[in-house]
Structure 1
């Protein structure tokens, strides 16, 4: 029997029992679709994370004392403006380093009150964080140096204090000190926003000197910076922590966070989720393979007389074995192809809904095809061998 004849026979047999064939393939279809969809969605998710990182900059970092925000923080461990200046001079690989002092308090406009995080920083803040200005501007170097009482608020604070009105030029009261609104920061959608100290609230930004005067404090909660190159990030952070310990006479009292750590955490979570869903998909494929074996055994029983007749007219064991193996392989391959189509379609749909880049994995598709073929061969071999070993006389007498 030629391969082509065996293939025709396999297709005819599968067409004869369409419902049973479809139900048998279901496990293979779901398993293969799940594998491809999980891998593709995972790749798209990683690419989306990297795109988000690039928006905020993969070379950004935040330095802070481990005791920041704690009651009774030792004075000697607190960061200072001078720390930032010293680090900029000592670390040539650092492109930018600026202080950030943060206090949670209420702002008032015409008897309207709204609480916000008041951040004292420098004019480079918007550039460092790559924040867009939706209205007005950020404060200038001259305003920073002179300690002008100006403030830049975010859109959340604008909406709560001014509603639909124009806030530019208006006065807001911070701790009984009037500050003039000069700009509105667009909503921070970058991943770097999570580095902010304190709860997720509305934010207002003022020159650091003004912040220090209003809150009667010279403390610095964190130093935010960026290196010229991503490759210098880890060495710069390590050197900065060592320098701070030397300056303050402490040991291992300073910590840093950077975007790369966020990428690693996100990738770790993605890998765990992919592994879990992949395991479920593998179980589905195993169930599908067992289903193929079960159906093929039923098929052997149903076609016992046919097998006996074919052997009686000269068919060899090899021909019978090939016939049933081909049926199992075709069954799993068709299920695999349908699963590939379903998996790609599902992944593309999810990528479209989440605005992720649709990254199809060639190796996942190749694995799916190979696995489908392997399932057919592995789970179809025993039923095919059982059919091939039937004695012609016994098979012909079978009722």
Structure 2
């Protein structure tokens, strides 16, 4: 029997039992679709993470005291403006380094009140964080140097206090101190912002000196900066922590966060999710393979007389073996192709909804096709071998 004849016979057999063939392929379809979708979505997710990191700045870092915000914080370990100046002089690899002090306070406009995180910072903040301005502008060097009473608010605060009105030039009472609105930050449309759940804090930004006057405090909650090169980030952070501990006479009192840690955490989460869903997909493929074996065994039993008749007219064992192997392979291959189509379609839809780049993996598709053929060979061999070994006379007498 030629290979072409065997394929025709396999397709005829599958068409004869369409419903049974379809149900048998279901496990293969689901498993292959899950593998393709998981790999594609995982690759798209990693690409989206890297895009957001590059947009925000992969060289960003934040230095802060371990006990920041705690009432028992050692006064000697509190960061100061002089710490930032000292680090800038000692670390030439630092591109930008600025202070940030934060206080949760109420803001009021015409008896309309809202609460926000009031941040005292410098004019470089918007560029460092890569934040866009929707209206007006950010703080200027002149306003920062003169400790002007000006404020930049975000969209959330603008909507709370001014509704659909124009906030530029309006006065806002920040912790009982009037400040003039000079700008409104655009909403954060990054992929990370889309996953924030629950109530979100509003933010207002004022010059650090103004913040110090408003809240009667000289403390610096954190130092935010970036390096010229990504490769200098880790060593710069370690050097900065050592310098801060020496300046304050402390030991291991400062911590740092950087964007690379966020990348690593996100990649770890993606890897765990991909592995878990991949395991589920593997179980589905295994169940699908067992289903193929079961159906092929049933098919051998149903066609025992046919096998006996074919052997009686001269069919060899290898012909019978090839016939049933081809049926199993065709069954799993068709299921694999349908699974690829379903997986690619699901991945593209998910990428569109998540606003992630759709990155199809050629290796995943090759693996899916190869695996589906392998499933047919592995789980179809025993039924095919059993059919090939049937004795012609016993098969012809089978009822």
- TM-score of the alignment, normalized to the shorter chain, above 0.5: yes
Task: Give secondary structure in 1 for the equivalent of 2:250.
Answer: coil
**What is the CA–CA distance in structure 2 between the aligned matches of 1:152 and 1:94, rounded to whole Å?**
26
Aligned ranges for residues 1-399 of structure 1 at < 5 Å?
A: 1-190=1-190, 200-399=200-399
Q: 1:226 to 1:193 in 2, by over 3 A?
A: farther
What is the CA-CA distance between 1:190 and the residue it aligns to?
Answer: 4.6
Q: 1:192 to 1:58 in 2, by over 3 A?
A: farther
**What is the CA–CA distance in structure 2 between the aligned matches of 1:9 and 1:163, rounded to whole Å?**
72
Task: Give secondary structure in 1 for the equivalent of 2:188.
Answer: coil
What is the CA-CA distance between 1:157 and the residue it aligns to?
Answer: 1.2
Structure 1 contact 53–190 (Cα < 8 Å) conserved: no
**What is the CA–CA distance in structure 2 between the aligned matches of 1:268 and 1:350, rounded to whole Å?**
20
Q: Deviations over 1:289-338 (max 9, x none)?
A: 00100000001001111111111111111111111111111111111111
What is the CA-CA distance between 1:192 and the residue it aligns to?
Answer: 8.5
Task: Give secondary structure in 1 for the equivalent of 2:252.
Answer: coil
Q: 1:141 to 1:133 in 2, by over 3 A?
A: same
What is the CA-CA distance between 1:200 and the residue it aligns to?
Answer: 4.0
Unaligned runs of at least 5 residues, structure 1: none
TM-score, length-scaled by structure 2: 0.96
Structure 2 contact 48–191 (Cα < 8 Å) conserved: no
Q: Deviations over 1:125-173 (max 9, x none)?
A: 1111111111111121111111111111111111111222222112111
Task: Give secondary structure in 2 for the equivalent of 1:226.
Answer: strand
**What is the CA–CA distance in structure 1 between the aligned matches of 2:166 and 2:37, rounded to whole Å?**
48
Q: Deviations over 1:364-392 (max 9, x none)?
A: 11111111011000100100010011001
**What is the CA–CA distance in structure 2 between the aligned matches of 1:204 and 1:126, rounded to whole Å?**
12
Size of the aligned set, in residue pairs, is 395
Structure 1 contact 99–122 (Cα < 8 Å) conserved: yes
Q: Which runs of 4+ in 1 moved over 4 A?
A: 190-194
**What is the CA–CA distance in structure 1 between the aligned matches of 2:123 and 2:191, rounded to whole Å?**
21
Q: 1:177 to 1:373 in 2, by over 3 A?
A: same
